[in-house]
Structure 1
Amino acid sequence: MGRTVKSYTEEYKNTIVELFNNGKTYKELNSEYGVPKSTIRQWVNKVEKRNDGTEEKENNIKEILKRDALLQEENEILKKALSIFAKAK
């Protein structure tokens, strides 16, 4: 038989994370709600990452790198065009 994957709502996840932040342990939450400790740990880490702005910073860096690559490509095209027009004179 295959393994069944449970799906939890965001509200449920946030409730579990809030309970953890209010002092409940992974073990207590696991026994009360039946959610694996590793799953709770992932939810807590995700919320902490979101709260410290790391995710937003990573997205900003990605956008800056995309923009930089585009500008470098445009500069190469302009250099080639300049060399073509310089030879024509």
Structure 2
Amino acid sequence: MSVRRKRRKFSNEFKHQLVNLYEAGKPRSEIINEYELTPSTFDRWVRENSQSGSFKTQDNLTPEQKELKALKKRNAQLEMENDILKQAALIFGRKSK
């Protein structure tokens, strides 16, 4: 049985400091071991910092991902409006008889 660690949150300043250490030449494995990080987390921080300089998910989306997100949001809104109109048509259809 594996014991799960409590999820930790890191400030953007801390993330920038670790990425700067890596860019200054400190080995990746040393940083990961010293700060008890997962390799995938550290690699994501490095990638996000190089792409946009931000660690926010929204800032690191590609234009295609942003468009897809907007289209999904619009589709959900239209489906909700369509459902409302269907219900209204049913209600008014019953009242007119």
1:40-81 deviations in Å (ceiling 9; x for gaps): 100000011115xx959839x85xxx9xxxxxxxxxxxxxxx
Off by >3 Å, runs of 4+ in structure 1: 54-57
Runs of 5+ consecutive residues of structure 1 not aligned to the other structure: 67-89
Matched with 1:7 is: 9
Aligned residues: 61
1:12-41 alpha-carbon deviations (Å, 9 max, x no partner): 000000001111122110122112221110
User: Which structure: greater helix fraction?
Assistant: 1
TM-score between the two structures when normalised by the length of structure 2: 0.49
TM-score, scaled relative to structure 1: 0.53
Instruction: Flag the 1:48–1:27 CA change in 2: closer, same or farther, 3 A.
Output: same
Structure 1 pair 56–39 and aligned structure 2 pair: CA distance change class (3 A): closer
Structure-2 separation of matches of 1:38 and 1:57: 20
Query: How large is the RMSD of aligned CA atoms in angstroms?
Result: 2.8
Give the Cα separation in 2 of the matches to 1:35 and 1:25.
14
Gaps of 5+ in 2: 54-58, 72-97
